[in-house]
Structure 1
Amino acid sequence: MKQPKYLFNAGRMSRKDNTLKFTPVDEDGTEGQPRYLPIEQVGDLYVFGSLDANSALYNFLGQEGIAVHFFNYYEHYTGSFMPREYLLAGKMQVDQTKHYMSAKKRIDIARRFVEGAANNILRVLKYYDNRDKAKELTDAIVTIERLLSTVPTTTDIPMLMGTEGNIRQTYYGCFDAIVGQTFCMDGRSKRPPQNELNALISFGNTLCYTACLSTIYHTQLNPTISFLHEPGARRYSLALDLAEVFKPILVDRLIFRMVNKRQLQPSDFRSEVGGCVMKEAARKRFVQGFDEQLKETIKHRALGRSVSYRHLVKLECYKLQKHLLGLEEYRPFKAWW
């Protein structure tokens, strides 16, 4: 079974028959013990260290449909090597473009992404409100529910993005109440994040984005044609749309769990001129937690069987495809637990 592989050390990667050979290299240029990754076991590659590779390797990865996602020293996502889209279909491309070009159809889908995100945010807040009964959480729930009620009547994308931004701002204002005294949010900051919580959010959001991007690649959807976020010349904006729905469930719940269980401590971070960054050991723990969460299963109400969180993302893509083709109305994923 294909699984994502994470490369934290700097090194050199090459092809050896039908196997990937990774040789770690330290700062002095000394080579370590090579690791061999059978190609049939590799889903995506996540590269957090310096990777030395040639075009022959990328040709091989492209033939096998393996994406490579790159992160810089500060855990910022910098880009992806994406194989040629092998499932793209003409009719889907035409219908996806038509829905983007139609203001009415685009705003309808964009509203649904915001509704899905807001409902999943509320699910997270209500879980912690039921446990702690904190006034900040109760007030935030009321505010977000009020903002959510305005979404169906929002008439343009900038206004909708403003509403979504207000929902997020209200939500992030609750983080201090949820994590207690371990960390302090002190407002949302990014590029660079100025403290530990912001560093966790930024890093977790990029992992969610790349997971959504990889899932879209294995469908007929075009990742560059989006509805909530404006398509850009240099980004896969549909993955940003999809990530909005899943960030509260995949990222924020993981942050709260790891912080409240003391699996992440202030000593796991360091402040630099470029902002706050996680130390390597903490980054590995967080990535492992995210990967384990994607593999975790829940009993799906409609399907009547257990599915993984990763498969929930794929189901979301399938639902969007059916909507674009006029087969079934898209209803965003809303957590029920």
Structure 2
Amino acid sequence: MSNYHNTLYVTTPGAYLAKDHENVAVRVERQTRLEVPMHHLGGVVCFGPVSASPDLMAACMERGIGVSFLDVNGRFLARVEGPASGNVLLRRRQFRLADDPAACALLARSFVLGKVANARSMLVRSARERADPPPTMQAAATRLADRIADLERAHLTTDAVRGHEGEAGASYFAAFDAMIRSTDPTFRFSRRSRRPPLDAVNALLSFVYALVLHDCSSALAAVGLDPGVGYLHVDRPGRPSLALDLMEEFRPALADRLVLALINRAQVAPKGFVRDQAGGVSMDADTRRTVLVAYQERKQASLTHPITGEATTYAVVPHIQARLLARTIRGDLETYPPFLVR
């Protein structure tokens, strides 16, 4: 699965992607700045005003390389990919289960259990790293443990699962600021804000969440599932609902942990964030590049997968989880086992 390790991120405004033999050529002002062999790539992500030639797009589609377009702040705009792979019977089964309330509730519960358990692990880990952890951390961890117990009860509806998710999210983000060790007021966090992000921490979270969403969409498409038909998230035109489902367990484990590391290690600076006239906060180009490099490095970190027991990396984990989800949808597994950090 080594082809899943590499994603090409293009952030230079006005960049043009072209096919040069078997390479992706990144050109700026008609000068080639970078060439990457296509057989090394699992995806291409373009931020802001970046365009691509028809020849390159066709070559990417033929090779199963998804191309995503996001705005400069990481908000998803569009994704282009080739014909769906996998067995059409798997997708038909996926669609049928989406109309089954009991099946939706069971899958939704697994996604949310993974998210809440990993969020609690984040709080517990952060508390251990502090000589005198704020009491808000332990209080939030206790509330998340209660939510996990509630989610493990039988016969929950999907709406009940969503309710527990909402309560858990409120408790988790109420303690998020306590996990930030920087004393700079730029990195204070009071609440989650999205469109637009209203502070630097939310700008980082939204940006990294968009990167994780791209990887989850690619993983689902690779196993033949439709990223647009989910179980926890309501279907909407253009919304990658199943990818949003799958990424829930990766929000704390991959995205939040990375954001906290970037802030606590002073890898991002207050000057790298800009507030617009509407009050939204975004990153400058240098900060975006710093985040992208850190994200790629994080994806290369080694671990032992808690379900399969295989040695792998964070880059491959979404693909392993997508395979486990496909097996669950086919009926080979009774319940979907979410990825849980240790």
Residue of structure 2 aligned with 1:6, choices 5, 9, 12: 9
Q: TM-score, normalised by structure 2?
A: 0.91
| Counterpart in the other structure of 1:15 | 19
Equivalent of 2:264 in 260, 267, 276: 260
Letter in 2 for 1:255: V
Measure the CA separation in 2 of the matches of 1:92 and 1:105.
Answer: 15
Q: Residues of 1 paired with 2:247 and 2:307: CA distance?
A: 22
Match of 1:156 in 2: 157
Distance 2:307 2:206 in 1: 32
Query: Residue by residue, what CA displacement relative to the aligned partner does 1:263-285 show, whole Å, maximum 9, x if unpaired?
Result: 11211111112410111111111
Specify every segment of 5 or more residues in structure 2 that has no aligned partner in the other structure, as ranges. none
Residues 1:200 and 2:235 aligned together: no
Aligned with residue 127 of structure 2, among 126, 129, 136: 129
Identify the residue that residue 309 of structure 1 maps to in structure 2: 314
1:109-128 to 2 correspondences below 5 Å: 109-128=107-126
- Paired residue type of 1:102: D
Counterpart in the other structure of 1:146 = 146
The sequence identity of aligned pairs, in percent, is 23
Task: Compute the displacement of 1:98 (Å).
Answer: 2.3
Residues 64-213 of structure 1 aligned to structure 2 (within 5 Å): 64-87=63-86, 89-132=87-130, 133-151=133-151, 152-153=153-154, 155-180=156-181, 181-182=183-184, 183-213=187-217
Per-residue deviation at 1:42?
A: 2.2
- Secondary structure of 1:327's match? coil
CA distance in 2, matches of 1:86, 1:95: 15
- Whether the 8 Å CA contact 2:231–2:245 is kept in 1: the answer is yes
Q: Is the 8 A contact 1:75 1:277 kept in 2?
A: no
* Residues 101 and 301 of structure 1, relative CA distance in 2, 3 Å threshold: closer
Q: CA deviation at 1:162?
A: 2.3
- In structure 2, how many angstroms separate the alpha carbons of the residues matched to 1:304 and 1:66? 28
Deviation at 1:211, TM superposition (A): 0.8
Aligned to 2:296: 291
Tell me how far apart the structure 1 counterparts of residues 44 and 56 of structure 2 sit (CA, whole Å): 13
**Partner amino acid, structure 2, of 1:166:** E
Corresponding residue for 1:272? Answer: 276
Q: Give distance in 1, aligned partners of 2:300 and 2:258.
A: 13
From the superposition, tell whether residues 184 and 34 of structure 1 become closer, same or farther in structure 2 (CA, over 3 Å): closer
Amino acid at match of 2:68: H
Equivalent pair of 2:25/2:32 in contact (CA under 8 Å): no
2:57 corresponds in structure 1 to: 58
Secondary structure of the residue that 1:310 maps to in structure 2?
A: coil
CA distance in 2, matches of 1:229, 1:170: 20
| Bigger mean CA deviation after superposition, 241-250 or 156-165 | 156-165
The CA distance in 2 between the partners of 1:304 and 1:188, in whole Å, is 35
The aligned amino acid for 1:224 is G
Per-residue CA deviation, residues 31-60 of structure 1 (Å, 9 max, x unaligned), is 434432222122211111422334333222
TM score, norm. by length of structure 1:
0.92
Which amino acid in the other structure matches residue 53 of structure 1? A
Where do 4+ consecutive residues of structure 1 move more than 6 Å?
none
Contact 2:47 2:69 in 1 (8 A): yes
Say whether the 8 Å CA contact 2:107–2:231 is kept in structure 1.
yes
Deviations 1:51-78 (A, max 9, x none): 2334333222211211111121333222
Indicate the SS of the match to 1:111: helix
What SS does the corresponding residue of 2:248 show, helix, strand or coil?
helix
Distance 2:180 2:300 in 1: 25
Q: Please give the secondary structure, in 2, of the residue aligned with 1:96.
A: helix
Q: Give the distance between the partners of 2:158 and 2:274, measured in 1 at CA.
A: 38
* CA spacing shift, 1:314–1:75, aligned 2, 3 Å: closer
The 2-side partners of 1:302 and 1:232 are apart by 32
Distance 1:304 1:156 in 2: 32
> How far did residue 153 of structure 1 move?
4.7
| Residue type at the aligned position of 2:259 | I
Q: Does the aligned pair in 1 maintain the 2:91–2:226 contact within 8 Å?
A: yes
Tell me the distance in 2 between the aligned counterparts of 1:200 and 1:233.
26
Whole-angstrom distance in 1 between the partners of 2:326 and 2:191: 37
